[in-house]
Amino acid sequence: MNNLDKDYWPSIFNLRFIGYILLILSFIDVANIFIPFQFTNPVWEFQMIGALVEHAPLPLIGSIFVFFGEINYRREVEIYLLNFISWAALLAGILFLLLLPLGINNTRRIDNQNWMQIANHSSQQITQMQQIKKVLSKATTNQDINQIIKSLNPQENTLELKNPQEMKSQVLSQIWQLEKNTSNQAQVVQSNTHKELIRNSIKWNLGALICSFAFIWIWRVTNWARSS
């Protein structure tokens, strides 16, 4: 080494050392993402894609650091390690590319699942209201109306109603309004859930495409590590 090399060597060594540390931490992160395996579960797969994309900067930075300085000041055993890391970058790029159709398909599946869950929950609530409305509509005597209204709120010691028929009309009107509100609320929840899903889908699928390009680019520019 000349004097200039000696001046720069500590910085190069530190960068490479930090790079290897980052790659080790990345491996731990990826292992943690995949455990426990829940393949065929669209929600888990979708979140797995998001986690991989959001953790991708760590191995990308680590790779840049370990390849810094190219073949200069390398031991033979390190060249073999860099060869492996270079091919691993290509594999990572291909895997990120393959995540795109999986992410798009899971977006569709999760959207359908969300719609079914919200629709079923809303339908159950409306069905219960309709049953109460049906029973209350058939009640004609003041005694029956009193019993039904008391059963709707069993925790309170409701006194006998002074005007059961008027209360019956009020309760039926309230049930009709609750049905309308429940239906409207279900539509709002479905719209918000759909927008959030699409937002994450665009962010993570686009991120997967960018990560794929970045890892393949690292593989391409480190051909010196594979040919040494």
Model confidence at 4, pLDDT cuts 50, 70, 90, reads very low
Helix (H, G, I), strand (E, B) or coil at 40: coil
Residue holding tokens 């960018």?
A: 210
Of the chain, the percentage scoring pLDDT greater than 70 comes to: 88
Determine the Cα–Cα distance for residues 93 and 191; give it in Å rounded to an integer: 34
- State the DSSP string of 85-98: HHHHHHHHHHHHHH
C-alpha closest to that of 212 among 117, 50, 94, 128: 94
Length in residues, the chain? 228
Tally of domains within the chain: 1
Spatial contact of 19 and 64, defined as CB atoms under 8 Å apart: yes
Determine the Cα–Cα distance for residues 47 and 33; give it in Å rounded to an integer: 9
Q: ∠ CA 199-120-194 to the nearest 5 degrees?
A: 10
pLDDT tens profile 26-49? 999 999 999 888 888 999 999 999
Three-class secondary structure assignment of 115-154: HHHHHHHHHHHHHHHHHHHHHHHHCCCHHHHHHHHHHHCC
Domain of 78 in residue numbering reads as: 3-227
pLDDT tens profile 88-122? 999 999 999 999 999 999 999 999 999 999 999 99
pLDDT at 220 over 60: yes
Model confidence at 162, pLDDT cuts 50, 70, 90, reads low
160, burial (CB in 10 Å: exposed 0-12, middle 13-18, buried 19+):
exposed
Q: First-to-last CA distance in the chain?
A: 21
